[in-house]
Structure 1
Amino acid sequence: MRGLKLVCAALLFAGIGAPSAFAAQCLGVAPGTSQRVVIGDTGRSLLLHVPSGYTKRAPLVFLLHGSTGTGAQMLAESKLAETADRHGFLVAAPDAGIAEGKGFVWNIPGVPTVTGKVPGPNDPDDVAFLTEAAQWLGTLGCADASRVYVTGLSGGGRMTSWLGCVAADRFAAIAPVVGLRAGNPSPVDPRFPDPKTCQPSRPMPVIAFAGGRDTTNPVEGGGAPYWQYPMRTAEARWADLNGCRRPRPTVSAGGIEEHGYTECRSGAEVVARIDSQAGHSWVADNEAMWAFFARRRR
């Protein structure tokens, strides 16, 4: 039944039996607006922003909220909808699967949430939901399936990193914000990632943003059990995974330090931008993020 629904939806949005103007809106969401839409038969929904001037399938950016937050809060805080209107990409802002407080937390298998609880087998599978949402929006003709990206704040940044590890076949690049990881902390030595927990199927381009004064997910490591190893260690691990051959020279300007790795397989560079004066917040430069995404396809 699910397969039949997808086929029918694809025919509908290809213009068979429906006005082309409806297809151009993408799920009936008018260009320049945001609306909650149900994803297939998953029983879950997300807030979808369709950019101004939308007329055909477009790149898609998943925006993942921080722990105990919501997709609506994240869309407002990040200002990513405004960036999408300037550059013509869709934004999908879902809620995580595990309810907590007034919001939700993401299910990263084997890693405790901010409550200290490790998600169990009966908790919603966020990887399955997000990958199905990406596929569904592509099948409908709303999104360009080769240009699907993911970013997120804090717990959403860690979920973004996890998707890079386990769903590289679905996403073209990732941009964690105050949340770059490269697998779970090692049970033997948490100052390093456990290599068994991050084995992407292809090189994954990474641009990560952080605050030098972040005491929640410190760039130097430590903190909560889900964090532990330094951001530089995560960068180096992604460089290894991507087969990068050369570190990028560190460049500092206006309190922003940028470094990373280049000459990587399939152009999968690793870039880190740290705002020395910022803390645990949306420190991303949306324009720099989109410029990085726009050069990548799956």
Structure 2
Amino acid sequence: MSQTPPTGLPGMAEVARLTRAGRLTEATGLVQRLLRGEHAAAPTTAPVPTVLEGEFERLDSSPQPISQGDAQPADGPGKGAGRGQKTGLVRTGLGETLRDLAARLRAMGGRAGGTGALRPAADPLPDGASFVTDSYSGAAGTRTYKLYVPANRGDGLRPLVVMLHGCTQSPDDFAAGSRMNAFAERHGILVAYPEQPASANAQRCWNWFNPEDQRRDRGEPELLAGITRRIMRDHPVDPDRVYIAGLSAGGAAAAIMGTAYPDLYAAVGVHSGLPAGAAHDLPSALAAMRQGSGSRPDGARATRPMPTIIFHGDRDAVVHPNNGDRVAAQATAIATGLRTEVQQGAAPGRRAHSRTLHTDSSGRTLCEHWTIHGAGHAWAGGSPAGSYTDPQGPDATAEMMRFFLEHRLPATPV
């Protein structure tokens, strides 16, 4: 992989050393200090932080060629297509990332901590709606969350959707990017956004790769289920229509929750994520992200078919696209008599997609898998008001909401 740093600034030799060591976060921090005119000396022996997301936020709409210098094959070095072969997946080189950062910082007069581009403001709350912060404490600790209660509440019990953000994101960021609150207002649905603090993961990732955080009533699953139940207790929530979804690390956590709590969630949405049990530590997590997880991830023991909708870009260079296939295989593993149909589609001004439907004998769709052509690691159809969004994609939020509302918890919980 090409690891040439930007040139023309004192201290670039140290930046080169850090990038060659794979310590991109420290290298970018050093570039920021250099551009502010600070001394190049900085601690370089700190442990590499747990980074399980991409370094970029938005997919360029124009196709990007893959150079043999900056690319890695989809199956990782030395596997699959082989080192240096073109696979159709964009892998941004470390040198390119640093050069882009330096150029943007120079354009800002050397100021650090921004991209130079302002995001549009999120939509204002409708009159009568609320979006407030609360917290839940359980055996595994405490987590804050934001809850959207629509003005359009209607009468009777309402559905609840739990949304798990990706690394580096916050509830407000994820809500703005996914536009889930607008759809919740339209359908009279409550939406919860649990927040992962930096104290639990330096990059605010859900720890989907830790065995302790993959089990029912342990670790993060206990906290997320506790938040869900707290909202169900305090608000008029229909217990048969509770759903959970997430992006990337949040998508992997949502898959875990669906497997661990089939009696709590009626359906699951996984966007750019991984199947439950895909990893058992950080090295296996990185391998699953780069190469795809195994066909039967350890720790995944579904007790009933879990209705699941999946979105994954086929140019995702952060979480390998075949993880979407693995999520679908996991969702349908214990179902019988399913019929599979693949549909092709594209709306004007939107990316083309392939949608694979797995339906039972009654015509009920158990699993929907959307492969979005030309898309990277971003929420499809999302708003530029949030990070990790691809406004050109099909509308994942609308399709996810449709899928959720088609499913209810089985009459006899497992």
Which category of TM-score, normalised to the shorter sequence, fits these structures? 0.7 to 0.9
Contact 2:183 2:398 in 1 (8 A): yes
34-43 or 154-163, which deviates more = 34-43
For residue 246 of structure 1, what is the aligned residue in structure 2? 339
- Mapped partners of 1:49, 1:218: distance in 2: 32
Could you tell me which runs of 5 or more consecutive residues in structure 1 were left unpaired when the two chains were aligned. Answer: 1-29, 112-117, 221-229
In the alignment, does 2:220 pair up with 1:126? Answer: yes
- Mapped partners of 1:145, 1:274: distance in 2: 31
- Mapped partners of 1:120, 1:191: distance in 2: 15
* Secondary structure in 2 matching 1:104: coil
Q: CA deviation at 1:40?
A: 6.5
Change (3 A) 1:185 1:252: farther
33-42 or 62-71, which deviates more = 33-42
For residue 223 of structure 1, what is the aligned residue in structure 2? none
- Mapped partners of 1:149, 1:139: distance in 2: 16
**Pairing partner for 1:155 from 228, 234, 249:** 249
For residue 293 of structure 1, what is the aligned residue in structure 2? 404
Aligned identity (percent) is 26
Q: CA deviation at 1:128?
A: 0.4
**Pairing partner for 1:36 from 111, 122, 133:** 133
Change (3 A) 1:46 1:191: closer
Specify the code of the residue in structure 1 equivalent to 2:340.
P
Q: Could you state the TM-score of these two structures normalised by the residue count of structure 2? A: 0.54
Q: Deviations over 1:37-93 (max 9, x none)?
A: 233666432100011222543100001000232222211111110111111101100
In the alignment, does 2:265 pair up with 1:166? Answer: no
Change (3 A) 1:252 1:174: same
Change (3 A) 1:205 1:129: same
In the alignment, does 2:146 pair up with 1:47? Answer: yes
Q: CA deviation at 1:273?
A: 1.0
* Secondary structure in 2 matching 1:74: helix
Flag the structure with higher strand content: 1
**Pairing partner for 1:146 from 240, 247, 252:** 240
Q: CA deviation at 1:195?
A: 4.9
For residue 307 of structure 2, what is the aligned residue in structure 1? 205
For residue 237 of structure 1, what is the aligned residue in structure 2? 330
For residue 187 of structure 2, what is the aligned residue in structure 1? 87
- Mapped partners of 2:334, 2:276: distance in 1: 9
Could you tell me which runs of 5 or more consecutive residues in structure 2 were left unpaired when the two chains were aligned. Answer: 1-126, 381-394, 410-414
Q: Deviations over 1:139-175 (max 9, x none)?
A: 2243212111011111001111111111111100001
4+ long deviations beyond 6 Å: 118-121
- Mapped partners of 2:371, 2:184: distance in 1: 23
- Mapped partners of 2:129, 2:238: distance in 1: 18
- Mapped partners of 2:254, 2:363: distance in 1: 20
* Secondary structure in 1 matching 2:275: coil
Specify the code of the residue in structure 2 equivalent to 1:292.
F
Contact 1:60 1:92 in 2 (8 A): yes
Contact 2:317 2:376 in 1 (8 A): yes
* Secondary structure in 1 matching 2:265: coil
Aligned length: 250
Specify the code of the residue in structure 2 equivalent to 1:202.
R
- Mapped partners of 2:213, 2:263: distance in 1: 24
Q: CA deviation at 1:198?
A: 1.3
Specify the code of the residue in structure 2 equivalent to 1:271.
E
For residue 277 of structure 1, what is the aligned residue in structure 2? 374
Q: CA deviation at 1:132?
A: 1.4
- Mapped partners of 1:109, 1:164: distance in 2: 16
Specify the code of the residue in structure 2 equivalent to 1:216.
V
**Pairing partner for 2:200 from 99, 114, 124:** 99
Specify the code of the residue in structure 2 equivalent to 1:247.
T
Change (3 A) 1:268 1:241: farther
Change (3 A) 1:191 1:158: closer
For residue 169 of structure 2, what is the aligned residue in structure 1? 69
- Mapped partners of 2:224, 2:359: distance in 1: 29
Change (3 A) 1:38 1:142: farther
The correspondence of residues 182-201 of structure 1 with structure 2, limited to 5 A, is: 182-185=276-279, 191-201=293-303
- Mapped partners of 1:38, 1:96: distance in 2: 12
Q: CA deviation at 1:296?
A: 0.9
Contact 1:50 1:91 in 2 (8 A): yes
- Mapped partners of 1:265, 1:192: distance in 2: 31
- Mapped partners of 1:149, 1:119: distance in 2: 19
**Pairing partner for 1:78 from 175, 178, 187:** 178
Specify the code of the residue in structure 1 equivalent to 2:304.
R
